[in-house]
Chain A
Amino acid sequence: MALKPTLRNLFIDREFVEKVSFLKNIPIFDGLSNSALGKLTGIMYSKKYPAGELIFEEGKVGKALFIIFDGEVAITKAAGNSEPKIIATHEKGAFFGEMALLEELPRSATAKTTKETTLFLMYKVKFDWFIEKDPRVGLKVIYNIAKVLSGRLRETSEFFAKTV
């Protein structure tokens, strides 16, 4: 009976299992199987950022999607000559920069860590390659991104409707 967990520990990568179960709860990976998530981890990189570190700057071309595995990130936008305005604060499980997976255009805001943060990075070039290799999973991710963007667009429209 005790053999099964021992064998499991011997062969299975616990860090990988932890990563997959974390990704399962990210909206853009909604409905993906463990096997599909396992494949996606192969095109992701993780990096630790110290607190107060710039992740990307407004106006610079975006090339990757970022997922917060741990820590906190503030999204700011330049406001003329005054101090940049914080438009959102993201925590564990949140993601940002998803537009970069669709097209390489200048970033619309700046991202900075407010605590020590670990991020997962998924690059457009790797994701494009992944779509070619596994169109079914790739399409599902794109569909999920479209849903997220549609939700954000709706929120923005409602916000404008209320302010006007």
Chain B
Amino acid sequence: MSNTRIYKTIGLLLLIGACIWFIYMVKSILMPFILSLVFAYLLSPLVGFFEAKGLKRIVSVLILYSIFLVIFIGTSIVMIPQIFREVSVLSNSIPEYTATIKGSISSFQQKVEAKYPIIKQKGIFDSTIKNAEQFVNSETSKVPEYLAAMVSIFVLIPFITFFFLLEGKAGIDFIFQKIPPRYTETILSLICEIDESLGNFFRGQFIESSCVGALSIIGLLILGIDYAVLIGIVAGLANMIPYLGPFAGTVPALIVGFIEYQNVTVMVKIVIMFSLVQFIDNNLIQPIILSKGVNLHPVTVIFAIMAGAQVAGVIGMFLSVPLVCIIKVTFMIIIHRKDLI
């Protein structure tokens, strides 16, 4: 290897290292940008639909944003009062729920301690309850902080997405023009294949989660569970996380159901209802939308989700699976397409 080539390789490695270090340093502010990128990617086919009618890109993006604004306002008129009502009832009911839970735990504690006095002697229950209280108190105090972060993200995301949608195509075209001509056919073919797999995956996930959310809301309303809309939205969002999502959606419903009715029958009904939703999802919705084009091993998914949570919290959990999909699709294409190597 010539000296120039060695210097170039070292320079390239240093540059990659510097980029990774920079991304790591600014990771706390990256989230709105990453989410905007995902949204821009999901919305680009809709912009393409208007562009195919001959409209300029800026006009197409503005039409899309206007449609979303109308849908958002329409949904807000219908849903927001209900959500606010549920949130305000929930916040008013928290002391009552806390008292109920404390009462239940206390009677359970008395029964257990009466049967096994050693538990009382060691103070196991008291220390566990104390720790749980401390945890809940510390997390509750962070709620305004979380809400402020959420609001800033929700304001920033549409703004950044707008520019990604508007300028994204020109940016991609610029990169495309920079690809050495003799590799254009191969590299672009690889990108097209990744785009196809991921596009189907993202769009499928979005449709699937919307269906699961809507079905959960209907089911919870039929069962007469409070906060049906809130729990349904959580269930729909959680469904985007494979394997763990459906459980994460069921737990809030079980807690609310238990507090509200204090009997096991309702909890069994909730479990049956969520199982039914999952059955419909697995056997009717998924085959129609064919969203499971990228099959990942359950262990890979769980590892990815945990790693995502470790690196970037809840958002990391949502983004980890698509990221693993990108890596898997790229490797699969490279391995199966020997002409690429």
Contacts and interface: CB of A to CB of B under 8 A. Distances in A.
Interface of A: 10-13, 16-17, 20, 34-35, 38-39, 41-42, 45, 47-50, 53-57, 60-64, 121, 123-126, 129
Contacts of B188: 45, 64, 121, 123
Contacts of B176: 45, 47
Nearest to A19: B54
B339 interface: yes
A101 to B, nearest CB: 12
B182 A12 contact: no
B59 to A, nearest CB: 5
B49 to A, nearest CB: 8
Contacts of B56: 10-13
A49 B185 contact: no
- Which of A16, A35, A55 gathers the greatest number of chain B CB atoms within 10 Å? A16
B296 interface: no
A42 B192 contact: no
Contacts of A38: 51-54
Contacts of B52: 35, 38-39, 41-42
A163 to B, nearest CB: 33
- Which of B51, B54, B57 gathers the greatest number of chain A CB atoms within 10 Å? B54
A12 B48 contact: no
Nearest to B63: A11
B330 interface: no
A11 B59 contact: yes
Nearest to A133: B45
B193 interface: yes
Given A57-B182, A121-B184, 10 more contacts: A11-B59, A12-B55, A12-B56, A13-B57, A35-B52, A47-B184, A50-B181, A53-B182, A61-B339, A64-B189
A140 B229 CA distance: 47
A54 B54 contact: no
Contacts of A35: 52-53
22 contacts: A11-B55, A16-B54, A38-B52, A38-B53, A42-B48, A42-B51, A42-B52, A45-B176, A47-B181, A48-B177, A53-B181, A53-B182, A54-B182, A57-B182, A61-B337, A62-B185, A63-B186, A64-B188, A121-B188, A123-B192, A125-B196, A126-B196
A54 B339 contact: no
A60 B52 CA distance: 33
B181 A60 contact: no
Chain B interface: which size bin?
Answer: 20 to 34
Interface in B45-76: 48, 51-57, 59
A37 B192 CA distance: 20
Contacts of B185: 55-56, 62-64, 121
Interface in B180-239: 181-182, 184-186, 188-189, 192-193, 196
A57 B196 CA distance: 26
B15 to A, nearest CB: 26
- Which of B188, B192, B193 gathers the greatest number of chain A CB atoms within 10 Å? B192
Interface in B278-306: none
A60 B185 CA distance: 10
A125 B192 contact: yes
A53 B51 CA distance: 31
A49 B181 contact: yes
Contacts of A124: 189
Contacts of A41: 52
A134 to B, nearest CB: 11
A38 B53 CA distance: 6
Contact of A13 (B51, B193, B339): B51
A50 B54 CA distance: 29
Interface string B22-60: 000000000000000000000000001001111111010
A41 to B, nearest CB: 7
